[in-house]
């Protein structure tokens, strides 16, 4: 297929069926990391599953907004924020309320309890990635919300930039954020910046995979950018190859974060640039798509279920804990999606300003995002 026809088909695609399968992979990596308790190797670096969530989020949200502007001549910020709020806030604050009750009445550690309530304003305002730093060998209840804060800040900032800026202005803005997202964490690690300063933590909170996903969406939206990326990533064998590279990057200690983010973004692009490729039969397996669809709930609930499993079945190995945590998380997230979240999703759909292409599924890309998680 020539690139012009492939681009037309890409722009007509309303559903990217492979994204839910990638979300499933992301949440499995994150959950495996948390259950294992390791800090190196494949399981220890499973937290990087959050980066794959981020790449999906940046790519999908930007594609939605670009196509909304093409279809309607503008981007409605009110509708966007209304849709995002209905998708994200109800379950987030419901789970946070459960944590408040559990910490208040069940938590035995006095320091952990005091720290949680000291951090609660940050959890309530999606600013925990700025105000709740991770300390080595310290248990921080609800710490995984940092990745959700990162996504929410992206949602707050980026649509307004896209609406106000000329195309190249938005691209340059996001390119600048990408440069900061790669430089600031490195500068903190090497001691060039003081990571305890608030302004430094804010700079270091930008997520490179989100920025790369946004820039990839802009590239694919233009005929010239699509033609170039199609020649590089449009082969039917590209997605399985990139999946192997992603898993290798996660498993290899010392792989640069920027390289891992780039390979993950390339995997997202190659899975969406054409809907027929060698990895699609795997990504569209019904169990994987289902877990991907409810991945936001799985991410929010998996630490609760893991702690419950450890109490119910003490002194078990990784395999038992992972299988029980995964199974229970999927069951609870499925119930939440069907009986709680869908009430708000129906309201969300009413806010759609006409048909908006490029949706992968009713589920968002949050993540789940140690997310960081999502």
How much is the pLDDT for 352? 63
**What local confidence, expressed as pLDDT, does residue 358 receive?**
44
> Residue 61: its pLDDT value, please?
96
Residue 349: predicted pLDDT: 74
- Please give the pLDDT value at position 373: 36
Averaged pLDDT, 18-41: 96
pLDDT given at position 369: 36
pLDDT value at position 193? 92
Segment 27-56 mean pLDDT: 96
Predicted confidence band at 15 (pLDDT cuts at 50, 70, 90)?
A: confident
pLDDT digits (tens, 9 = 90+) for 229-265: 999 999 999 999 999 999 999 999 999 999 999 999 9
DSSP 341: I
pLDDT at 175 over 80: yes
pLDDT at site 136: 77
Q: Which of 246, 340, 238, 278 is nearest to 28 (CA)?
A: 246
> How is the chain split among helix, strand and coil, in percent rounded to 5?
75, 0, 25
Average pLDDT over residues 283-306: 97
DSSP H helix total and E strand total for the chain? 19, 0
User: What's the chain's average pLDDT?
Assistant: 92
Lowest mean pLDDT among 64-68, 255-259, 348-352: 348-352
List CB contacts of 128: < 8 A, sequence separation 6 or more.
119, 122, 142, 143, 145, 146, 149
Task: State the pLDDT at residue 137.
Answer: 78
Specify the pTM.
Answer: 0.92
């Amino acid at each position: 297929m020539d690139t012009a026809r492939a681009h037309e088909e890409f722009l007509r695609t309303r559903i990217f069926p492979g994204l839910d399968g990638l979300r499933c992979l992301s949440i499995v990596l994150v959950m495996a990391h948390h259950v294992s308790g390791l800090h190196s190797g494949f399981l220890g670096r499973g937290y990087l599953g959050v980066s794959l969530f981020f790449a999906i989020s940046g790519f999908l949200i930007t594609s939605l907004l670009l196509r909304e502007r093409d279809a309607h001549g503008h981007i409605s910020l009110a509708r966007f924020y209304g849709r995002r709020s209905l998708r994200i806030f109800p379950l987030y604050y419901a789970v946070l309320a459960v944590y408040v009750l559990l910490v208040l009445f069940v938590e035995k550690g006095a320091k952990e309890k005091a720290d949680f309530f000291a951090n609660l304003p940050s959890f309530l305002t999606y600013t925990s990635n700025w105000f709740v730093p991770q300390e080595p060998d310290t248990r921080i209840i609800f710490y995984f919300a940092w990745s959700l804060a990162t996504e929410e800040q992206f949602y707050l900032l980026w649509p307004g930039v896209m609406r106000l800026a000329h195309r190249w202005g938005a691209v340059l803005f996001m390119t600048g954020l990408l440069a900061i997202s790669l430089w600031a964490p490195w500068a903190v690690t090497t001691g060039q910046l003081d990571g305890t300063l608030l302004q430094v933590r804010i700079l270091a909170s930008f997520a490179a995979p989100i920025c790369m996903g946004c820039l990839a969406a802009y590239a694919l939206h233009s005929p010239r950018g699509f033609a170039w990326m199609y020649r590089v990533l449009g082969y039917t064998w590209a997605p399985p190859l990139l999946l192997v590279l992603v898993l290798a990057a996660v498993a290899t200690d010392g792989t640069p974060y920027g390289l891992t983010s780039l390979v993950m973004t390339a995997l997202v692009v190659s899975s969406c640039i054409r809907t027929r490729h060698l990895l699609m039969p795997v990504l569209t397996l019904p169990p994987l798509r289902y877990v991907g669809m409810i991945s936001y709930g799985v991410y929010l609930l998996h630490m609760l279920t893991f702690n419950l499993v450890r109490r119910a079945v003490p002194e078990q190995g990784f395999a038992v804990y992972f299988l029980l945590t995964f199974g229970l998380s999927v069951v609870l997230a499925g119930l939440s999606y069907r009986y709680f979240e869908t009430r708000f999703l129906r309201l969300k759909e009413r806010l759609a300003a006409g048909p908006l292409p490029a949706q992968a599924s009713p589920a968002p890309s949050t993540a789940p995002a140690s997310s960081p998680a999502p």
